[in-house]
Amino acid sequence: MKQFSLLEKQESLDVLNYQIRVCERCSLSVTRKHALTGEGNIEARIMFVALSPGVKEDSQNRMFIGPSGQVFDKLLYAAGIDRELVFMTNLVKCVLPKNRKPSVDEIESCSHFLDKEILIIHPEVIVPLGYYATLTILTKYHADPLAAEMNFAKVNGKLLFLNGEKIFPLPHPAALLYNPSFEPDTIEKYKELKTFM
């Protein structure tokens, strides 16, 4: 995998981010306010991949600032990780109307953007958050066709080595909004991220 200098990373991201902002590859471009680009430390060792922006993120064009963002900050704090040291992006770059599930077409329309982000940032570990991001990342790096039948509970919080990449699936912070009882176990899983810093 090509290693980019800091200047090359920034220039490449600037070009990619422009392509994301003007993208009209799927119908989500009609209903969004913004197509969210990744944000954070471009030298990050950890890259978080969430599903999609929420309504607040779409409105303010920022990653993780809504209710799940508050949970995300709490989990990072508990893990002893500074948000400024990580890179965050989404599998689908536009808000999904009524918080619905993404279609295969919507995921595929954005997949090349995610591929380029991973290539540019070149993180030590990719951390997909939740089922859809995990399924997509595992399918991308795993030749096993059974990845399509992935059981999230079996890979959640486990470090996987796939095609030269370290993948560490974790629960999406939004899961705690619906199931607060999962918080202690989720915090322990997030704490393991510290070893990658």
145-157 pLDDT, tens digit per residue, is 555 456 778 888 9
Pick out the chain residues at pLDDT < 50.
148
Q: Is residue 49 part of a domain?
A: yes
Q: Is residue 10 part of a domain?
A: yes
pLDDT at 29: 87
Q: Is residue 33 part of a domain?
A: yes
pLDDT at 142: 76
How far is residue 129's CA from residue 22's CA, in Å, rounded to a whole number?
25
pLDDT at 2: 61
Q: Is residue 118 part of a domain?
A: yes
Pairing of strands 39-40, 87-90: antiparallel
pLDDT at 1: 54
What CATH number corresponds to the domain at position 109? 3.40.470.10
pLDDT digits (tens, 9 = 90+) for 104-137: 999 999 999 999 999 999 999 999 999 999 989 9
- Is pTM beyond 0.85 here? yes
Query: DSSP 3-state helix, strand, coil percentages of the chain (rounded to 5)?
Result: 55, 10, 35
pLDDT at 117: 96
**Count of the separate structural domains present in the chain:** 1
pLDDT at 176: 93
Do the beta carbons of residue 47 and residue 121 sit within 8 Å?
yes
Q: Any bridge partners for residue 90, and if so which? A: 50
pLDDT at 185: 94
Q: Is residue 59 part of a domain?
A: yes
pLDDT at 162: 87
Q: Is residue 1 part of a domain?
A: no
Q: Any bridge partners for residue 26, and if so which? A: none
Q: Is residue 39 part of a domain?
A: yes
pLDDT at 144: 61
128's CB contacts (< 8 A; 6+ apart) are: 49, 91, 134, 136, 137, 138, 167, 169, 170
How far is residue 134's CA from residue 152's CA, in Å, rounded to a whole number?
8
pLDDT at 141: 84
Q: Report the 10 Å Cβ neighbour count for 135.
A: 20
Expressed as residue numbers, the domain containing 30 is: 6-196
